[in-house]
């Protein structure tokens, strides 16, 4: 697969065209940002970890019947993906309170939720990815009712698959963010699933094994990403 011009460069990844108009190469960088890129840094080898972790998880999703943009891993930092039109809705699923939900509602971190909480955020850094709901999404024609029904249904299924996957690896899935894209007539899970986009706590110790180590200057950031990769690669 020949890598052509850059389509888009985000904070953590670069998307390149290929010689096939339907396919793109997603390249994972070591750059890390937080708080709408007001905090910037690099996490050594993060791109390699996130490419591999995402590849494994996308394969698990495909095996369980979740359609994704993933085609195959190309090298340490790149995967071949279907070239989707990203829907600018960041879908957040929460199983345990943390981060934005604690700030929004003034509640403490670590409360186990009776039901998973599904949130939508408008994907716009300049606006700080504001929380919004389906009325905004439909009124502004960001996505249709049919598309959002499919996205919600897939998101709850993905949540259960991910809870089970990480649980077997001694990690609790606290919350995570998903992005979906349009591809031909389908809605596909896109972007990445990694410690950048999930909160993962070690069972028992509740040690944070994700990007919160970078956001909150907790140290041992690289070691946490490496440890998650090691566990993800463990066949259980």
Contact positions toward ligand TMP, by CB under 6 A? 92, 98-101, 129, 175-177, 197-199
Q: Which is nearer to ligand TMP, 103 or 184 (CB)?
A: 103
Q: Which residue has the tokens 């949130």?
A: 119
CB of 36 to ligand ASP, least distance (A): 4
Residue corresponding to tokens 């891993």: 73
Minimum distance from residue 230 beta carbon to ligand ASP (Å): 23
Number of CB atoms found within 10 A of residue 40's CB: 11
If you ran DSSP here, which 8-state letter would residue 208 be given?
Answer: B
Least Cβ distance, residue 23 to ligand ASP (angstroms): 25
Structure token pair of residue 138: 């439909």
215 binds ligand ASP (CB under 6 A): yes
Q: In terms of CB distance, is 124 or 186 closer to ligand ASP?
A: 124
Residue ranges of E strands in the chain:
3-9, 13-18, 23-28, 31-34, 39-42, 70-75, 78-82, 85-86, 89-96, 112-122, 131-132, 171-183, 186-190, 198-202
3 vs 29 by CB, closer to ligand TMP: 29
Residue 117 structure tokens: 């909480």
Site string for ligand ASP, 24-63 (x = CB under 6 A): ---------xxxxx--------------------------
Burial class (CB in 10 A: 0-12, 13-18, 19+), 214: buried
Residue choice 3, 11, 136, 157 for contact with ligand ASP (CB under 6 A): 11
Q: Least distance to ligand TMP from the beta carbon of 2, Å?
A: 30
Q: Which is nearer to ligand ASP, 10 or 219 (CB)?
A: 10
Task: Say which entry of ligand ASP, ligand TMP, none residue 199 contacts (CB below 5 to 8 A, set by partner kind).
Answer: ligand TMP
Q: Strand pairing partners for 118?
A: 93
Q: Which does 182 bind (CB under 5 to 8 A by kind): ligand TMP, ligand ASP, none?
A: none
- Among ligand ASP, ligand TMP, none, partner that 37 touches (CB below 5 to 8 angstroms by kind): ligand ASP
Angle at 207 between CA 206 and CA 213, to 5 degrees: 135
Residue nearest ligand TMP, Cβ-based: 99
Closest approach, Cβ 170 to ligand TMP, in A, equals 18
For position 102 contacting ligand ASP by CB under 6 A, the verdict is: no
What is the SS3 assignment for 177-199?
EEEEEEECCEEEEECCCCCCCEE
Determine the length of the chain: 236
User: Where does this chain bind ligand ASP (CB under 6 A)?
Assistant: 11, 33-37, 211, 215
């Amino acid at each position: 697969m020949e890598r052509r011009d850059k389509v888009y460069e985000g904070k953590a990844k670069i998307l390149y065209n290929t010689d096939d108009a339907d396919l793109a190469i997603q390249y994972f960088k070591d750059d890390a940002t937080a708080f709408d890129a007001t905090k910037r840094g690099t996490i050594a080898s993060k791109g390699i970890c996130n490419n591999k972790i995402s590849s494994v998880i996308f394969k698990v999703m495909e095996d369980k019947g979740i359609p994704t943009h993933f085609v195959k891993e190309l090298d340490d930092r790149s995967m071949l993906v279907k070239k989707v039109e990203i829907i600018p809705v960041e879908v957040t699923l929460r199983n345990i309170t943390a981060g934005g939900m604690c700030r929004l509602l003034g509640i403490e971190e670590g409360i186990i939720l009776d039901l998973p909480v599904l949130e939508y955020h408008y994907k716009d850094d300049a606006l700080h990815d504001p929380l919004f709901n389906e009325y905004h999404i439909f009124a502004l024609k960001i996505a249709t009712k049919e598309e959002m029904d499919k996205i919600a249904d897939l998101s709850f299924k993905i949540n259960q698959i991910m809870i089970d996957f990480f649980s077997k690896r001694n990690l609790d899935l606290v919350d995570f963010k998903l992005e979906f894209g349009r591809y031909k007539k389908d809605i596909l899970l896109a972007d990445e699933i990694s410690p950048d986009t999930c909160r993962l706590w070690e069972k028992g110790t509740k040690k944070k094994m994700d990007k919160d180590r970078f956001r909150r200057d907790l140290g041992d950031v690289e070691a946490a990403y490496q440890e998650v990769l090691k566990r993800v690669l463990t066949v259980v």
